[in-house]
Chains A and B, each alone.
Chain A
Amino acid sequence: MNTLTYWFHKLGSPPTFYRIATALQPWCYGVALVLGLIGLYGGLVVAPKDYQQGDAYRIIFVHVPCAWMGLFAYLFMAVNAFIALVWRIKLNEVLAMASAPVGAAFTFVTLVTGSLWGKPMWGTWWTWDARLTSELFLLFLYFGVIGLYNAIEDRRQAARAASFLALIGVVNLPIVHFSVNWWNTLHQGSTVRLFGPSRIDASMLWPLLLLAIATHLWFFGSVLARARGGLIELDAGKDWVRTLALAQSKPTASGVT
């Protein structure tokens, strides 16, 4: 066996991955927190007021990174779902299912903040343009994946069924986007451009980028945390989990996140 596949196997084994995840997770959360706070400071305080939108534009500092993350999480989930279905790797099943709730959270924040931005800017909480509608159905897809995963008794079968649905969603999402776009040409006048001319000042750009990095790290922290739970659940009968559970039951066991 060559070294690369050896390491791949080693990393893919649940106890090893659990150890690595336990070590990485606080760093992901921690760095995300620090970068996020700096980014928020930059967005709320340092960045100048927009000459058109006033201070309301500051919502984009949370809205846009969350919108990216909603899609990124879906992509991450779909890639893992594909690997899980084709090669039946337990770890990828766990990772795919771990990214669904985080992705749903980001998509939810996107919708709420988008709505809160839309009200002062367009005078309406909601508009049926392609991007918003796709985002809404992205949320429904997340709910479908989570719902299917929770509805099936056998955990591995549940993960495989939900992974399959996630892959169908990958096909569906661009079609929804395309169809709503077409639909909007039919009902002209209701479209509002979400992003104005995309000339953005450097003082506005760096907080945005920092927050984008922070949300990515937060996403990975959350995925690792859920993957740890998922691995425990899937390997509940294995020795390494039992050792782990009994080691943590001691009240003195601290420093474990």
Chain B
Amino acid sequence: MHSFFAMGGYAAYVWVSYAVFIVVLAIDAWAARAQRLRQLAQVRGRARRSAARSGSTP
């Protein structure tokens, strides 16, 4: 088990590579989702504004 984590002395390089791979892709997925939620929130805000202007729900 220990030898598995040691990666034949290359642990720093191998594990950092895999970590970068996973972290960057996770951030990417999270950012995509956050962007969509932000857009939806903006649409809701706009709907509220126009509802407030016209005095009724659109």
Inter-chain contact A228/B36, CB cutoff 8 Å: yes
Contact of B29 among A113, A222, A245 (CB under 8 A): A222
B33: chain A residues within 8 A (beta carbon): 225, 257
Q: What 3 pairs across the A-B complex have the smallest Cβ distances?
A: A229-B36, A55-B8, A225-B32
> Does A249 lie at the interface of the complex (its beta carbon under 8 Å from any beta carbon of B)?
yes
CB proximity of A158 to chain B, nearest CB, Å: 15
CB proximity of A239 to chain B, nearest CB, Å: 9
Fill in one digit per residue for A165-185: 1 if any B CB lies within 8 Å of its CB, else 0. 000000000000000000000
CA distance A62 to B25 in the complex (A): 11
Chain A residue at smallest Cβ distance from B6: A55
* Known A117-B17, A225-B32: A56·B43 in contact at CB below 8 Å: no
Residues of A whose CB lies within 8 Å of any CB of B are: 29, 40, 44-45, 49, 54-56, 58-59, 62-63, 66, 101-102, 105, 108-109, 112-113, 116-117, 119-120, 218, 221-222, 225-226, 228-229, 232-233, 236-237, 241-242, 244-246, 248-249, 257
B43: chain A residues within 8 A (beta carbon): 232, 236, 241-242, 244-245
Chain A residue at smallest Cβ distance from B8: A55
Fill in one digit per residue for B6-36: 1 if any A CB lies within 8 Å of its CB, else 0. 0111100110111011001101110111011
Q: Chain B, interface size: which category? A: 20 to 34
> Does B40 lie at the interface of the complex (its beta carbon under 8 Å from any beta carbon of A)?
yes
* Known A113-B17, A113-B21, A218-B25: A245·B44 in contact at CB below 8 Å: yes
Contact of B35 among A62, A226, A242, A248 (CB under 8 A): A226
Residues of B whose CB lies within 8 Å of any CB of A are: 4, 7-10, 13-14, 16-18, 20-21, 24-25, 27-29, 31-33, 35-36, 38-44, 46-47, 58
Inter-chain contact B28/A105, CB cutoff 8 Å: yes
Chain B residue at smallest Cβ distance from A40: B18
Inter-chain contact B47/A54, CB cutoff 8 Å: no
CA distance A221 to B25 in the complex (A): 11
Inter-chain contact A236/B39, CB cutoff 8 Å: yes
Contact of B17 among A54, A59, A222, A225 (CB under 8 A): A59
CB proximity of B23 to chain A, nearest CB, Å: 9
Contact of A112 among B20, B29, B44, B47 (CB under 8 A): B20
Residue among B20, B21, B35, B43 having the largest count of chain A Cβ atoms under 10 Å: B21
Chain A residue at smallest Cβ distance from B3: A55
